[in-house]
């Protein structure tokens, strides 16, 4: 597995990088030995007192997961983030392995559809800069801040909820493996997961 360690205004010396590589190597060998790559980033929290570690793990083709940890030093922050990753892999090991094998085999599932994720300027920023908005867009939508390439996978609802949890995402758009229609799962303010599907005619 290829592991990249980086710091945002945080030193990532050889000892820390070795600790990260050995720790992630142990976790992936134990729970998910065909993980492909991981990006580990260290930064300070908003107040500058604690260290924060973000782990983004590519656990298989088109299968990603995320863990975050905080601690008084970078080593402790990594250990907490790594434990979050390990807990998710323990919880979903069987389903993740089955799903990854299905993706790797390319059988029984249509290819992922290309999609775009567009980040729009916040409404309050738009109000402060209405003239620029009118010139830049020539349309009745906010200015585009960023655009990234995404994919829409064909999944069961259970797999979509699993992806939502593994990614620690707020929302996931997918195509239903049952109906073929676009569906959405999202994290509700009460902690439950909401599922939106088109009404059947």
Are residue 18 and residue 73 in the same domain, yes or no? Answer: yes
- Span 68-125, pLDDT tens digits: 999 999 999 999 999 998 888 887 776 655 655 655 555 556 778 888 888 887 766 5
* pLDDT tens track for 22-44: 999 898 888 776 778 899 999 99
Domain count, the chain: 3
Same domain, 128 and 177: no
**Structural domain boundaries, residue 168:** 153-201
* Domain match, 129 and 42 both: no
Report yes or no: 58 and 35 within 8 Å, Cβ to Cβ: yes
Considering the domain architecture, whether residues 74 and 124 belong to the same structural domain is answered as no
pTM above 0.85, yes or no: no
**Residue 15, domain CATH:** 3.30.160.100
Q: Which residues contact 161 (CB under 8 A, 6 or more apart)?
A: 185, 193, 195
């Amino acid at each position: 597995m290829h592991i990249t360690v980086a710091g945002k205004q945080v030193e990532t010396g050889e000892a820390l990088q070795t600790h990260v590589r050995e720790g992630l190597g142990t976790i992936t060998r134990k729970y998910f030995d065909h993980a492909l790559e991981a990006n580990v980033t260290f930064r300070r929290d908003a107040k500058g007192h604690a260290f924060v570690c973000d782990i983004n793990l590519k656990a298989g083709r088109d299968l990603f997961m995320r863990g975050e940890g905080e601690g008084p030093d970078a080593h402790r922050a990594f250990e907490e983030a790594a434990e979050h990753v390990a807990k998710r892999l323990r919880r979903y090991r069987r389903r993740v392995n089955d799903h990854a094998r299905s993706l790797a085999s390319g059988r029984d599932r249509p290819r992922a559809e290309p999609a775009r994720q567009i980040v729009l300027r916040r409404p309050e920023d738009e109000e402060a800069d209405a003239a620029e908005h009118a010139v830049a867009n020539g349309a009745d939508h906010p200015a585009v801040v960023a655009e990234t390439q995404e994919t829409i996978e064909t999944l069961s609802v259970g797999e979509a909820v699993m992806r939502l949890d593994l990614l620690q995402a707020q929302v996931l758009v997918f195509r239903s493996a049952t109906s073929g229609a676009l569906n959405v799962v999202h994290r509700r303010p009460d902690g439950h997961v909401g599922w939106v599907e088109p009404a059947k005619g």
